[in-house]
Amino acid sequence: MATPAKRRKGDAGRFSVKYPDILLFIVDRNIPRVRHEHLKTIARKKGIPVADKLCCNVTHIVSELETQDKVVEVLRKQYKKDVISEDAEILSMRWFTTSMEESKAMEVNDEYRLPREQKVVQEMKESEEVEEELSVAKYACQRRTPLKHFNKIFTDALEILEKNADFSGGDQDYSRALAFRRASASLKALPRTVTSMKDVAKLSDIGKHCREVIQEVLEDGHSSEIENILSSQWFQTMKLFTGVYGCGPVTARKWYDMGCRTLQDLKKSEKISLSKDQIKGLEYYDDLQVPVTKVEAEALRNFIIEELNQISGELSVLITGGFIRGKDSGHDVDFLISHSVEGKEQGLLNKLMSRLMEKGLILHYNGQINSFKEESAKSPKHSKSSMLDQFEKCLTMFKLDSSLVERYSRTTMSDKVADTESTSNPQSNATCSAKSDAIEDGKHSLSENKDKAWRAIRVDFVVCPSSQYAYALLGWTGSRMFNRSIRLYSDRELNMTLTSHGLYDKTRQRFLPATSEREIFDHLKLTFVDPWERNC
């Protein structure tokens, strides 16, 4: 019986040699033995001499390993002494397979040579440089901004300054607030913690004031300016008052100037006439301070799906806002509702609200009818109000019963909420025909517990026609800063107007339709950024 060694010898002599100047060696590391033998045989069949053992006559070394350096390392260990000729080419399997396919020994070039480790390091460096460049890109919409980032100690400080400027209220303060926001946004996108002022040198969005704050935090671990703001009665009171639903900085300042300092002061003051929003805002103040959890939001979505199911099929209901950006809790729940058939979304919200009100679930609401006009989506505005859209919507205070959460969180649909690809398409997103097992008992009435087993939460409902869905989704996903940035970028860099209703190309004078967020990014020549990387 022939030994394997003899058979190999036999093979070698059996085929005529077409390439006498080549001696091939196939490194067996990472290649099963049987395949290794097979490879040697087919090379010989093509007239390429193959060495069974490495020797200094070998001209071509082929390997599955990743780099030349690895091959040398492995062979040195295996053969103890250095038997690799200086002229030997160390090649990838691609040289081998191409040679076999072409039935000839391919000319060696860089395409076939395995990379040197230095080169690999260099390439890694280059891709890091691209990442680095991306992280300091001019517009926040060009960067990836995760929820959890490396520079919280600095961004927390800058956000206090932003809030402080926002509370102050003048036009100048508005630009100052925005400048602090932009600075904090640029720090959030950095892939590492700032440890010296050198690290922020490249960031164009960080002005003198912000630099001073960063420097102070770097040196002392905190900023005295921020501490002064936080401890001031004015700031604390403004924070308290603007936390009342329906109260912005202007009203809060007015109340402060009237001498009010506590919520009690507001309730009992005879000089103050509270709006309906503010009355409810005060009534449910404590409830509304409690963040809404993701579990609650998803349970509520399942409940809303069931409710809408009673009205019409083919609907999509999506949680947008902070939750779609990966937050575990939020100040409200934002629902984007659409019908797969354009036009059929009309009147939906009224019907839904009637149902919810009949059930006593709406404690308070502000409705807006759809007032969209094409003209308004053509011209850009960069004021605060331009961020608002004209969709039919209802901003509510919802009575969230703990039994509703319990009943509706046991469903199979909740997983789909965070799935971004499906978010781009109302048809594919969990529709109302999907059934929640939560109401199989058929009981809808949610009992009111004397011990108040419920709390008020803020819930926003927005309805959009399917043709505007992708744009509405982009707008309602946010963040606010991301929207501001991508809209500014569209206008300045591309002469296009982006709103939650569409994208208008002012040069070509036409709207650019899109069925997914990706398409919008394509229209804008931007690399797609996932929702959870839009937390600027």
Q: Which residues are catalytic?
A: 332, 334, 460
Residue 500: which of ligand CTP, Mn ion, none does it interact with, CB under 5 to 8 A by kind?
A: ligand CTP
Q: How far is the CB of 202 from ligand CTP (least distance, A)?
A: 28
Radius of gyration over alpha carbons of the chain, in Å? 33
Q: Where do we find the tokens 């939750």? A: 323
Residue 306: which of ligand CTP, Mn ion, none does it interact with, CB under 5 to 8 A by kind?
A: none
500 binding ligand CTP? (CB under 6 A): yes
487 binding ligand CTP? (CB under 6 A): no
Using CB under 6 A as the criterion, what x/- string covers residues 316-355 for binding ligand CTP? -----xx----x--xxx-x---------------------
Residue whose C-alpha is closest to residue 348's, from 334, 365, 367: 367
**Cα gap 58→83, rounded to integer Å:** 9
Cα atoms found within 13 Å of the Cα of residue 415, Cβ hemisphere only = 1
The residue from 205, 307, 332, 345 that contacts Mn ion (CB under 5 A) is 332
Q: By C-beta, is 321 or 465 nearer to Mn ion?
A: 321
Helix (H, G, I), strand (E, B) or coil at 413: coil
Among the residue ranges 37-45, 327-335, 355-363, 506-514, the one whose residues contact Mn ion (CB under 5 A): 327-335
Considering only residues 72 through 131, tell me which ones interact with ligand CTP, judged by CB under 6 A: none
Q: By C-beta, is 9 or 384 nearer to ligand CTP?
A: 384
Residue 205: which of ligand CTP, Mn ion, none does it interact with, CB under 5 to 8 A by kind?
A: none
321 binding Mn ion? (CB under 5 A): yes
- Identity of residue 32: P
475 binding ligand CTP? (CB under 6 A): yes
Residue with the closest Cβ to ligand CTP? 478
**List of long-range contacts for 32-39, beta carbons under 8 Å, 24+ apart:** 37/4, 37/8, 39/96
Residue 479: which of Mn ion, ligand CTP, none does it interact with, CB under 5 to 8 A by kind?
A: ligand CTP
Residue 475: which of ligand CTP, Mn ion, none does it interact with, CB under 5 to 8 A by kind?
A: ligand CTP
Q: Where do we find the tokens 């961004």? A: 155
Taking the mean position of all CA atoms in its chain, how far away is CA 380? 25
Roughly what angle, to the nearest 10 degrees, separates helices 171-188 and 152-168? 170
452: left (phi over 0), alpha (psi -120 to 50) or beta: left
230 binding ligand CTP? (CB under 6 A): no
Strands, E assignment, 429-488: 454-464
480 binding ligand CTP? (CB under 6 A): yes
Q: Which H helix or E strand runs over 62?
A: strand 60-63
**Cα gap 436→418, rounded to integer Å:** 17
Q: Residue 483 is encoded by which pair of tokens?
A: 């929207």
483 binding ligand CTP? (CB under 6 A): yes
Contact positions toward Mn ion, by CB under 5 A?
321-322, 330, 332, 334, 460
Contact positions toward ligand CTP, by CB under 6 A?
321-322, 327, 330-332, 334, 387-389, 475-476, 478-480, 483, 500
